[in-house]
Amino acid sequence: MRITDALSTEHAVFLAAFDQVEQMMPYVQTLGEVKVIGRLLEPLLHRHGEKEEHLAFSALNHILKDRQPFERLHLDHQEKDNLLAQLAGAGNLAEAQHLLRMAIVMLRVHFLYEEQVAFPLMEKALQDESLEALSRV
């Protein structure tokens, strides 16, 4: 399995989880419940982002002349971290729900960009053997 396939599979899992979170959001009644959702997602998203940045994107850093697509992804990861940190510090239910929804929307766009722009660049620049080796790290 190539690293791009593994990351795309993780995206599909996250997207399904986001669908579930969005469906239950109208029924969430306390600030604590929203914060728990954020705390559940945060370490999973963090590990996923580390895989992307440390394995996949760093492998291309020395190959590509145009690093803009990958700089955007790094900024997206920082934005996700900031939104989840704000969620952890939210003072009321409405603010927390808004921040969680913003994070989910941002991540949906981020995943789409990766799959339409970043992953095809990786697959074009790296050999299949390299893509497979990265997925085993």
Q: How far apart are the first and last CA of the chain?
A: 12
CA distance 35 to 129: 41
- Name the residue type at position 23: Q
Residue 110 has pLDDT above 70, yes or no: yes
DSSP tag of 89: T
Q: How do residues 9-50 score in pLDDT, each as one tens digit? A: 999 999 999 999 999 999 999 999 999 999 999 999 999 998
Q: What is the pLDDT of residue 69?
A: 64
Residue 95 has pLDDT above 90, yes or no: yes
pLDDT band at 85 (very low <50, low <70, confident <90, very high): very high
pTM comes to: 0.89
Q: What is the pLDDT of residue 65?
A: 65
Write b or e for each residue in 53-77: b if 16 or more Cβ atoms lie within 10 A of its Cβ, otherwise e. Answer: eebbbebbeeeeeeeebbeebeebb
Q: How many CB atoms lie within 10 A of CB 81?
A: 15
